[in-house]
Amino acid sequence: MVIALNRRFYQGFQIQSSFTWSRANDFGQGSQTFTATNSVLNPFDLAGEYSRSNFDIRDRFALGAFWSPNYYHGGERWLEYVANGFTIAPLITASSGAPFTPTVSGSAPSPRTVNGITYNAPAGASGSLADGGSSRVPFLGANSFQMPRTVNVDLRVAKELKVWESWKLTLSADAFNLFNHVNVTSVSTQMFSISGTDMNYQTSFGTPTASSNILTAQRQIQVGLRLTF
């Protein structure tokens, strides 16, 4: 579901905004350029793979605005020169955090006896069930946890000055991630570790391990000067 609020450019103001509400579930997918294989926990229970998708971003809000006020039309030239000619353009995005899957390091002991039946894992088998499958925690679904939300505010402020006839000088300042919000891009996904017959909880589970990528980074500010003639 998408709700949008837009205003076409009129009297120096324009706005485009939208809110997206979505849900995405699947049986797991391998996203890569060439042949992909699915790594399931239990190949005899494919229905157990049905859970949140890697692309399940539940909520997303985006707003872009452009405001160029020229409200002073009095006779004072110096006041018109100072008050008009500004451009303010914010860009705001906020979304739910990406999902991630809790994992187990190590494999279930083999051989082991369950309900009087002794199970010997195949040679080279790995995974939390020692069946060669994925390392997902067996009693939790894929992508059953979620990283913190992502928020980013960019802002551009510019002032245009008329220098001489058709010559114009534009002063500008751009801020990216204006409020320096920490956007977590990766967390520790290891929830348990297997040692012998013991499964130990990892206290580092869910703690951030990275907070920057090519799309979100720490606050950056740049200033510019442009002469048009």
Span 9-33, average pLDDT: 89
Distance from C-alpha of 198 to C-alpha of 191, rounded to nearest angstrom: 14
Instruction: Check pLDDT > 90 for residue 79.
Output: no
- The per-residue pLDDT for 110 is 67
* Number of domains forming the structure of the chain: 1
Q: Does the pLDDT of residue 197 top 90, yes or no? A: no
DSSP symbols for 9-48: EETTEEEEEEEEE---EES-----SS------S-TT-GGG
* Whole-number Å distance between alpha carbons of 61 and 141: 27
Q: List 90's β-bridge partners, or say none.
A: 155
Q: Are strands 190-195 and 103-105 parallel, antiparallel or unpaired?
A: parallel
Residue 225 sits at the vertex; the CA angle it makes with 70 and 73, to the nearest 5 degrees, is 15
Domain that residue 148 falls in: 2-228
Range with the poorest average pLDDT among 25-29, 78-82, 113-117: 113-117
Is the pLDDT at 4 greater than 70? The verdict is yes
Predicted TM-score (pTM) of the model is 0.79
Residue 50 has pLDDT above 80, yes or no: yes
Q: Identify the three-state secondary structure at position 208.
A: strand
